[in-house]
């Protein structure tokens, strides 16, 4: 089976934030939020991006959409480099890439009705107005499982799941080709999460767009993703097809993540966690492999050499000097 054509390509993405202290706000350090990330998302594909809180997932999302400016690297959308486009040059591309944020209530204007919120992108880009806009907004409400008569309601009159549906409808308004989902279900009740995930899958089948799906819940990622990338301390340490990653994790950090997932059957076979200590500070990340301070398999070379993503099998890449921490010399 051939891989889908790449819609989004990210190469060596870096985002550093200066740490300023004192009365004169002098630079006292640098937060290495994203430190050389490369990946691609195919047309109609869902790439799951997972990792602990603070590993840089959301910064990747915002950098890809140019909501924050990357320090260096290259972002290509459908073959065109958008990394250094000005705001006016980037404007036409905004229609092709949208985002669904984590907290639906915080991302909705409480002073606007739900219909005005969903219709605002159409007005901003001059795509519809008046009755035509109202009709398009009503269709968007129906697409996400809301009633058109709810267009007059305000965000506080909806439940959490309904508010996230409004956010999804707003993201759909411009007909995007890429939707970045930044932990879109983590703020919702568990009973509602499955409904929203199923809605996202149905919309993808109907419209054929791509998702960059960011989450820390591995069960959600396993359900919706085609491929999965694992991040640790601003770097991607493993990328593989979903089934391959969950059945044959090669990096010690990925193995530890999977071992941390609770299981109902205490007799089931589980991976042994391979993590020691705490996550290092992104202000002063370790040299070499970022994970070597917590890895039980680390050798002297891990403290010096920074491993690049290398092929570890069909559709499987891992950034580890020891073949995924096994210690084998395959």
Which pLDDT band, with edges at 50, 70 and 90, does 132 fall under? very high
Confidence check: pLDDT of 152 > 70: yes
> What residue ranges do the domains of the chain occupy?
6-90+211-318
Which pLDDT band, with edges at 50, 70 and 90, does 330 fall under? very low
Average pLDDT, stretch 138-165?
A: 95
Confidence check: pLDDT of 231 > 90: yes
- Give the tens place of pLDDT for each residue, 265-295: 666 665 555 677 788 888 888 999 999 988 8
Contact of 34 with 199, CB cutoff 8 Å: no
The pTM score is 0.90
Confidence check: pLDDT of 327 > 50: no
Which pLDDT band, with edges at 50, 70 and 90, does 264 fall under? low
**Which range, of 143-147, 232-236, 258-262, 311-315, averages the lowest pLDDT?**
258-262
Confidence check: pLDDT of 150 > 80: yes
Q: Can you give the three-state secondary structure of 198-251, one letter per residue?
A: HHHHHHHHHHCCEEEEEECCHHHHHHHCCEEEEEECCEEEEEEEHHHHHHCCCC
The reported pLDDT for the residue numbered 328 is: 42
The reported pLDDT for the residue numbered 329 is: 35
Q: Mean pLDDT across the chain, nearest whole number?
A: 89
Confidence check: pLDDT of 80 > 50: yes
The reported pLDDT for the residue numbered 145 is: 94
Average pLDDT, stretch 94-117?
A: 93
- Give the tens place of pLDDT for each residue, 159-177: 999 999 999 999 999 999 9
Query: Which top CATH class is 6-90+211-318?
Result: alpha beta
Confidence check: pLDDT of 325 > 60: no
């Amino acid at each position: 089976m051939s891989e889908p054509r790449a819609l989004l390509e990210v190469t060596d993405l870096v985002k550093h934030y200066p740490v300023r202290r004192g009365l004169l706000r002098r630079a006292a350090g640098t937060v290495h939020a994203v430190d050389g990330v490369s990946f691609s998302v195919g047309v109609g594909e869902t790439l799951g991006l997972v990792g602990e809180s603070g590993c840089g997932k959301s910064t990747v999302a915002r950098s890809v959409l140019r909501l924050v400016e990357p320090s260096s690297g290259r972002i290509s959308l459908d073959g065109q480099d958008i990394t250094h486009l000005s705001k006016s040059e980037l404007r036409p591309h905004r229609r092709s890439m949208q985002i669904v944020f984590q907290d639906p209530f915080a991302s909705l204007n409480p002073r606007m009705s739900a219909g005005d919120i969903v219709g605002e992108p159409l007005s901003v880009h001059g795509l519809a107005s008046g009755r035509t806009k109202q009709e398009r907004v009503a269709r968007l409400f129906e697409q996400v499982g809301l009633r058109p008569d709810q267009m007059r309601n305000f965000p506080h009159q909806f439940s959490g799941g309904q508010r996230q549906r409004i956010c999804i409808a707003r993201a759909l308004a411009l007909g995007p080709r890429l939707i970045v989902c930044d932990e879109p279900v983590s703020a919702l009740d568990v009973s509602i999460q499955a409904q929203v995930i199923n809605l996202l899958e149905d919309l993808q089948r109907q419209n054929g767009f791509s998702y960059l799906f960011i989450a820390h819940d591995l069960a959600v990622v396993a359900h919706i993703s085609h491929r999965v990338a694992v991040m640790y301390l601003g770097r991607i340490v493993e990328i593989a097809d979903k089934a391959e990653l969950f059945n044959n994790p090669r990096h010690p950090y990925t193995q530890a993540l999977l071992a941390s997932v609770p299981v109902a059957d205490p007799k089931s076979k589980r991976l042994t966690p391979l993590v020691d200590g705490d996550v290092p500070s992104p202000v002063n990340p370790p040299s070499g492999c970022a994970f070597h301070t917590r890895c039980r398999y680390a050798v002297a070379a891990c403290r010096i050499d920074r491993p690049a993503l290398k092929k570890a099998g069909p559709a499987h890449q891992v950034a580890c000097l020891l073949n995924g921490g096994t210690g084998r010399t395959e």
